[in-house]
Chains A and B, each alone.
Chain A
Amino acid sequence: AQSVTQLGSHVSVSEGALVLLRCNYSSSVPPYLFWYVQYPNQGLQLLLKYTSAATLVKGINGFEAEFKKSETSFHLTKPSAHMSDAAEYFCAVRYGNNRLAFGKGNQVVVIP
């Protein structure tokens, strides 16, 4: 069965520093992978998606992710954190009947 692992429920990063959120997936077929962001008291918004067209995927707000099949990973990065990046981030993998399996999320705190 498809699943996603996100380690470290809370991630603290200094303003201007690199943001790195790790996602490892388990899938028996070529995966479709997604990163979503959730701001306080809001629904989830799509940050970016991997659909096999390119291994380095660029998303909104300066985020990008690299698909590495050999490592079964899809880590999310942003070179320089901004205060507005404080949010919860979820990695997800698609499986049968167009369902998404989500990781447990990373709560990102940006320190001024």
Chain B
Amino acid sequence: NAGVTQTPKFRVLKTGQSMTLLCAQDMNHEYMYWYRQDPGMGLRLIHYSVGEGTTAKGEVPDGYNVSRLKKQNFLLGLESAAPSQTSVYFCASSTGSYNYGYTFGSGTRLTVV
């Protein structure tokens, strides 16, 4: 089925370890986003991209890096994981049209111990 695929679905990291979360979409969307969801905080934007080769900071970018080398993929990296980065991470994509909503992936649950 067409949509947004996130890998992995679950991960446990030790403090200081690094990892990369992968987001892939097959809808030819220009815009892609990474959000984190924490209880009582809603969704907060980490980084986003308005097209292949572009990235920009969102609301809570510290401790994360991103890359968009291919239009269909948007990678989120944690260079040195901290317990404060324990969260559920969601990727989303959009056409960029203002009357078009986002398509979300099913999320990655990350625990940093």
Q: Which residue numbers of A lie inside 8 Å of B, CB to CB?
A: 6, 9, 32, 34, 36, 41-46, 49, 51, 90, 94, 97-105
Q: In the complex, what's the smallest C-beta–C-beta distance from B103 to chain A, in angstroms?
A: 8
Cβ B33 vs Cβ A90 within 8 A: no
How far, in angstroms, from A98 to B98 measured CA to CA in the complex?
7
Q: Which of B43, B96, B98, B99 contacts A90 (CB 8 A)?
A: B43
Cβ A102 vs Cβ B42 within 8 A: yes
Interface band, chain B: 20 to 34
Q: Which of A43, A46, A99, A103 contacts B101 (CB 8 A)?
A: A46
Q: Which of B31, B98, B102 contacts A46 (CB 8 A)?
A: B102
Q: Which of A46, A94, A97, A104 contacts B56 (CB 8 A)?
A: A97
Cβ B42 vs Cβ A103 within 8 A: yes
How far, in angstroms, from A100 to B37 measured CA to CA in the complex?
14
Q: In the complex, what's the smallest C-beta–C-beta distance from B42 to chain A, in angstroms?
A: 4
How far, in angstroms, from A26 to B102 measured CA to CA in the complex?
20
Q: In the complex, what's the smallest C-beta–C-beta distance from A29 to chain B, in angstroms?
A: 11
